[in-house]
Amino acid sequence: MGTEISEPLILDKESIDDGAGIESELVPEWKDQITIRGLVVSALLGTLFCIITHKLNLTVGIIPSLNVGAGLLGFFFVKSWTGFLTKLGFQVSPFTKQENTVIQTCVVACYGLAFSGGFGSYMIAMDERTYKLIGADYPGNRAEDIKNPGLGWMTGFLFVVSFLGLFSLTPLRKVMVLDYKLTYPSGTATAMLINSFHTHSGAELAGKQVKCLGKYLSISFIWSCFKWFFSGIGDSCGFDNFPSFGLMLFRNTFYFDFSPTYVGCGLICPHIVNCSVLLGAIISWGFLWPFISAHAGDWYPSGLESNNFKGLYGYKVFIAIALILGDGLYNLIKIIYISAKEVCNKSTKQSKLPIVNEVIDNESSKVLAEQRKRDDIFLKDRIPTWFAASGYVALAAISTATIPIIFPSLKWYLVLVSYIIAPALAFCNSYGTGLTDWNLSSTYGKIGLFIIASLVGSDGGVMAGLAACGVMMSIVSTAADLMQDFKTGYLTLSSAKSMFVSQLLGTAMGCVIAPLTFWMFWTAFEVGSPDGPYKAPYAVIFREMAILGIEGFSELPKHCLALCFGFFIGAVLVNLLRDVTPKEISQFIPIPMAMAVPFYIGAYFAADMFVGTVILFIWERINQKEAEDYAGAVASGLICGDGIWTIPSAILSILRINPPICMYFGPSLSS
């Protein structure tokens, strides 16, 4: 699966409430926080963000946080609707920050399944295209281990695995949010954003942000439409293949392809992430791959096809896997260690971990009253422990009986064991997310993939491992998302019960919308083609991981295992260096996970993202306040506009309507 990267937006305490304190604020009942109009808006935005997430997952695998866009658009749609009806003379219920929070929760839960549902990773790794791409004669890659995407089984699989994580940690919400006071940076940032919308000055800024988002959405949509006319037939035409830095660098995938989506990602992602991606592109496509290519005929047979794993392609895939695993396993062990240490030291009340600083002293009785009201509202609408436990057991029983029907090689007892240990892993992931804002669900999934594939063996191990990866990823990811939502609800005075119900509703929407939007891509484009726009890079990586769990490393090209080991150790050492050096130094040390992405995909999107980060850097130097207020809106507009164009583009492709012009670049003819 892809790598989700977000930049926390933590506001100071004073920005939580603008004007009067919250102790006199009227809070609607939990049922009134969930409205029909809110669910309709959630479904519309969920569809849009599912399309955007699929597009990113099937191209580069980096998914920036879209929470700002979801919050802004949710606020805009409901405010516009209520304003329109009011002008017509209808009486409408006021739009509260609690309803805004419910919409945000629904949207994030919905498009989260486009990410954790495996449409760009473990699920599509099962298909025939990925099987053929690796090679029918590749050891461990069997024709029997194929399951092509289908709306029926994908929807059913999501329904039986996606809800368990919501029930696994619900009884611990008080412990995680109130007792441990975990930060959940993205959840806190979302709450601060929503709170600011529902103040006078905040609503005025939100209106300007919405106008800015709409402006850049329109520009992005029109530009994407314009690009289509020159993209011709095939994959070598148009602005997407513009040799911006010359033909020699173009052949090594170094070019700017004028993608609003990737530029928008560069505006949202932290500078260090964008620079890490560019550094990874320079190391791999600038030095490493040309060096290995020079040894063709010695290290590997020359003349192989570009997607043959016995050639350069094998180095690309396995070195990327080594970097991803090195980074993921290091952070997993670190977060488990930090979490265990903090739990053991909790009785000392001397936490060294980041927490929400609640200022409670004799001079601030107002803040104390606000905290008490938040605590009371958070604990008021209880979700009974027996309900959560019985829900988990019932869903686990249904899933244990159903999954072996969908994937016969994954036996029921393996599914049952996964569900027995899953709550403990979900707690570790949720605790770590609360401390660091780093969701390691894909790492837990990869560990499950290796273990189950090796246990099942060559007879069905690939399919069993990939399916088990989906089971594990779904539980630990949704559990962390729910705790994040509980934190958001706590800070916006939203009921915990409304948060739980809205997460359930958003997940149900996602189980339907995510497969449907993916099916649009699958039927309209050649998903998984190494020469197409939707390469689905993680499909090959996840299938290769499953094969490695069965076959080992015997079939790797010459020196590939040594290079993989070196990059694995390098990823661990770089992470260790980031942790032991002072912050003023560590902030400039690259992130191995981000560096790994261009190793396999190419350098072109790194150039786009770097353009985005340069724009943001200059903007911050010219006007820091304006950049803080509008960068997220500009980025969301660029991403959403390009994402919306995907719909008419897919329709044109289905109708076999081709672009009229092929703009192609090649070397000039010698006289």
Concatenated DSSP letters of 88-119? TT-------HHHHHHHHHHHHHHHHHHHHT-T
Rounded CA Rg of the chain: 25
CB distance 432 to 438 below 8 Å:
yes
Alpha carbon 518 to chain centroid distance?
Answer: 15
Cβ-based neighbour number of residue 518 at 10 Å: 27
- Residue 221 neighbours by CB under 8 Å, 6+ apart: 641, 642, 644, 645
CA distance 278 to 276: 5
**Could you tell me where the DSSP H helices lie in 25-140?**
30-33, 36-57, 67-87, 97-116, 128-134
Helix axis angle, 260-268 to 624-654, nearest 10°: 150
- Residue 36 neighbours by CB under 8 Å, 6+ apart: none
CB distance 451 to 464 below 8 Å:
no
Residue 444 DSSP label: H
pLDDT in tens, 344-377: 776 554 444 444 444 445 545 766 777 888 888 8
pLDDT in tens, 412-442: 999 999 999 888 888 877 876 776 566 778 8
Residue showing tokens 């060096």: 291
Residue 170 DSSP label: G
**Which pLDDT score is estimated for 18?**
41
**Which pLDDT score is estimated for 56?**
82
CA distance 33 to 158: 27
CA distance 372 to 382: 16
Residue 509: which of 162, 150, 151, 170 has the closest Cα? 162
**Which pLDDT score is estimated for 425?**
80
Helix (H, G, I), strand (E, B) or coil at 342: helix
Helix axis angle, 624-654 to 67-87, nearest 10°: 80
Q: Could you tell me how many residues make up the chain? A: 671
Residues of the chain with pLDDT under 70: 1-24, 62, 64-65, 68, 185, 202, 234-235, 307-309, 339, 346-364, 366-367, 432, 435-438, 553-555, 669-671
CA distance 370 to 231: 57
What pairing do the DSSP bridges indicate for beta strands 3-5 and 62-64?
parallel
CA distance 145 to 135: 13
Beta-bridge partner residues of 662 = 231
CA distance 205 to 195: 12
Residue 255: which of 531, 594, 605, 529 has the closest Cα? 605
**Which pLDDT score is estimated for 16?**
38
CA distance 220 to 222: 6
**Which pLDDT score is estimated for 298?**
86
Structure tokens at 582: 């002072």
Helix (H, G, I), strand (E, B) or coil at 145: coil
CA distance 589 to 168: 36
| DSSP letters spanning 405-438 | HH-TTS-HHHHHHHHHHHHHHHHHHHHHHHHHS-
| pTM, two decimal places | 0.76
Alpha carbon 131 to chain centroid distance?
Answer: 25
CB distance 281 to 254 below 8 Å:
yes
Q: Where are the beta strands (DSSP E) in 238-339?
A: none
Residue showing tokens 């594990």: 472
Furthest CA-CA distance within the chain: 87
**Which pLDDT score is estimated for 235?**
67
Residue showing tokens 């305490």: 13
